[in-house]
Structure 1
């Protein structure tokens, strides 16, 4: 079965969620460290919305990815 764009976004979000939890960070803490709103972090983790590439990169940078 072929993954859709949404499936990929959801899978990436799950990985980000797991890594964030591994660092014992809340979504609010991660958003503050990344300079983003907590809604943007929530959207990235849930694979929803349309976060910018820069937002995604900011989250990945904070998590050391």
Structure 2
């Protein structure tokens, strides 16, 4: 999956589940600033960060 598509999928899933960025940050252990940056297409999240976010949202990410 292309990086931008992956980010879009994570954001879309978060919104479908009606989970705020703040809640996702708290539950996943990923910093709120980091989540906001990668959802805006900024920054460079690691695979670990993306996996933590995806797993929290019930997504299995493969790289």
User: Which residues in structure 2 correspond to 1:1-65 (within 5 Å)?
Assistant: 8-65=2-59
Larger of the two Rg values belongs to structure: 1
User: Cα RMSD between the aligned structures?
Assistant: 1.3
Please, which runs of 5 or more residues in structure 1 have no aligned partner?
1-7
Higher relative contact order (CA 8 A, sep 6+): 1
Please, which runs of 5 or more residues in structure 2 have no aligned partner?
none
Which 4+ runs in 1 deviate beyond 3 A? Answer: none
- Bigger helix share: 1
